[in-house]
């Protein structure tokens, strides 16, 4: 089994910052991609940011310049630094990992709530 555990969510005022962390544990042979998705009530889940094993990053247009994704491969951890937060960023944020060499597994965290409100 593979588990992804997120932390760092909470309530923040517009313009503030939060840092999300996700740690993977279990039967991890190779992590190809780690990233973050988010979903607000009544909306579809969307990709926020992702980082590959080669260090290539991808961001949603709405967060470019404000969010930064990084990883620590030795610790199987991915971080999301979120700056200049806006009310539109309010959502449950889910950690994601694609794991495997021949057979691939998509793993998801339980989600952490980020609320941006004054």
Condensed to tens digits (0 to 9), the pLDDT of residues 26-85 reads 888 889 999 999 999 999 999 999 999 999 999 999 999 999 999 987 888 999 999 999
**Cα separations in angstroms, 107 against 2, 25, 55, 96:** 7, 11, 19, 6
Letter string b/e over residues 70-93, b meaning 16 or more CB atoms within 10 A of that residue's CB: ebeeeebbbbbebeebeeebbbbb
Residue 87's pLDDT band (boundaries 50, 70, 90)? very high
The predicted pLDDT at position 101 comes to 81
Query: Is the backbone of residue 109 left (phi > 0), alpha (psi -120 to 50) or beta?
Result: beta
CB atoms within 10 A of CB 103: 7
The predicted pLDDT at position 100 comes to 84
Mean pLDDT of 18-33: 92
Closest CA to 112 of 88, 96, 100: 96
The predicted pLDDT at position 27 comes to 84
The predicted pLDDT at position 28 comes to 82
The predicted pLDDT at position 103 comes to 83
């Amino acid at each position: 089994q593979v588990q992804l555990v997120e932390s760092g969510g909470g309530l923040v005022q517009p313009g503030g910052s939060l840092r999300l962390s996700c740690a993977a544990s279990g039967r991890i042979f190779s992590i190809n991609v780690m990233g973050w998705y988010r979903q607000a009530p009544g909306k579809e889940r969307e990709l926020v940011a992702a980082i590959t094993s080669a260090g290539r990053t991808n961001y949603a247009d709405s967060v470019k310049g404000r969010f930064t994704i990084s990883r620590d491969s030795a610790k199987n951890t991915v971080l999301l630094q979120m700056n200049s937060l806006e009310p539109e960023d309010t959502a449950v944020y889910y950690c994601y990992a694609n794991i495997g060499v021949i057979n691939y597994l998509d793993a998801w965290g339980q989600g952490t709530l980020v609320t941006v409100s004054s």
